[in-house]
Amino acid sequence: MVVAIRLLLALVGGVTCYELGITFMHRTGLGQPTEGLLIALAVLVGIALGVLLGGFLGRAVTRLGRRLDRASSLVTASGLLFTTIGLIIGLGVAALGGLAIKNLPVVGAYLLPLLFAVSGYLFAYLGYKRHTDLARVLGFKGLLQQPGVKQFIKPKLLDTSVIIDGRVGDVVATGFLEGDLVIPSFVLEELQSIADSGEPGKRSRGRRGLDTVRNLQEVPNRVIIIERDFPSVAEVDAKLIKLAKEMKACILTTDYNLNKLAQIQGVDVLNVNELSNSVKAVVLPGESLGVRILREGKEEDQGVAYLDDGTMVVVEGGRNRVGEEVEVEVTSILQNPSGRMIFSRLAS
């Protein structure tokens, strides 16, 4: 869209400046070579102005198209139909009323556009507000079943942390995550900078994030990469929140601080860590578990084991049983935003 508008305005600018150049150059009395050079320069200036203005206009039209698409996704078919009918009726009423006021001295020419605007708006608004009742009365109940507010699926904005984490790919593959997965260009730039880091650990995390993006792109019609940025905003998290508000999207993350900040500003957040914690097997105090103690714990006489889902199990009296399969009894469970820890003692 942006390229097409730029080409169109460049053509219009070039032709306009050419016509103006021919008109004014003949009046100057300059020689033929000079006139030709100035006309060519004017054409180049017109093309440059057309390309520049076309960029601004093209981006504005693209943003308007996205907003209209999101807005229309929230309206039922009956709402669109009866709003349009109301607008047509309103314009018809204004046309009839205009016959009476168009010949009024002085004010007639000014009242006519105002009459069309007010009448069209009022009838369109009336059609939209009462479209549900009108659809039921006229027997168009099928139109009420078209996508509306409850069926609108918000796009998901992916932040750097959830891409590097990688589990989002598994969640998408299972089909539990609906809607478009949107990756802003500034998130990809941050991933690229991490992948180019001189520190081996950061470089490995960045490359894993880029691999995650490539794997997500293999799922048909799910990933959208948008060239949207906010140069006046420095922090990537702040850009994500601002973009989420603009797109009416939710943020997919594993960052606890971003989670809280977004919720404070009224943006919906999906935290993969919270999802992971919610689907872990429920363990209650007093239950018995069979685990393998892998290493010594921080406190005296403690051993550390892990469940299949990665939950840490601290075993009292397990320091001397490292490497062994043991039966333990759960004594307490500690739940925090980063995960869950199970405290236990040897069953024997």
Contact 48, 14 (CB under 8 A): no
Q: Does 35 score more than 50 pLDDT?
A: yes
Region 244-266: mean pLDDT is 89
- Is 254 in a helix, a strand, or coil? coil
Region 273-279: mean pLDDT is 76
Closest CA to 116 of 96, 91, 97, 99: 91
Q: Where are the alpha helices (DSSP H) in the chain?
A: 2-28, 32-73, 77-101, 108-129, 131-137, 160-165, 167-174, 185-195, 200-217, 236-247, 256-264, 272-278
User: With pLDDT > 70 as the criterion, what percentage of the chain qualifies?
Assistant: 87
Tell me the pLDDT of the chain averaged across its residues.
81
Query: Of the ranges 139-143, 190-194, 231-235, 341-345, which one carries the lowest mean pLDDT score?
Result: 139-143
| DSSP-assigned letter for residue 142 | G
Beta strands 339-346; 269-271: pairing state: unpaired
Query: Of the ranges 161-170, 276-285, 327-336, which one carries the lowest mean pLDDT score?
Result: 276-285
Q: Could you count the other beta carbons within 10 Å of the beta carbon of residue 335?
A: 9
Region 315-325: mean pLDDT is 86
Q: Could you count the other beta carbons within 10 Å of the beta carbon of residue 168?
A: 24
Region 238-256: mean pLDDT is 89
* pLDDT level of residue 118 (50, 70, 90 thresholds): confident
* pLDDT level of residue 164 (50, 70, 90 thresholds): very high
Sign of CA dihedral 183, 68, 5, 232: negative
Closest CA to 255 of 274, 230, 278: 274
Contact 135, 143 (CB under 8 A): yes
How far apart (Å, rounded) are the C-alpha atoms in residues 83 and 86?
5
- The token pair at 145 is 């079943």
CA 252 to chain centre: 10
Contact 81, 24 (CB under 8 A): no
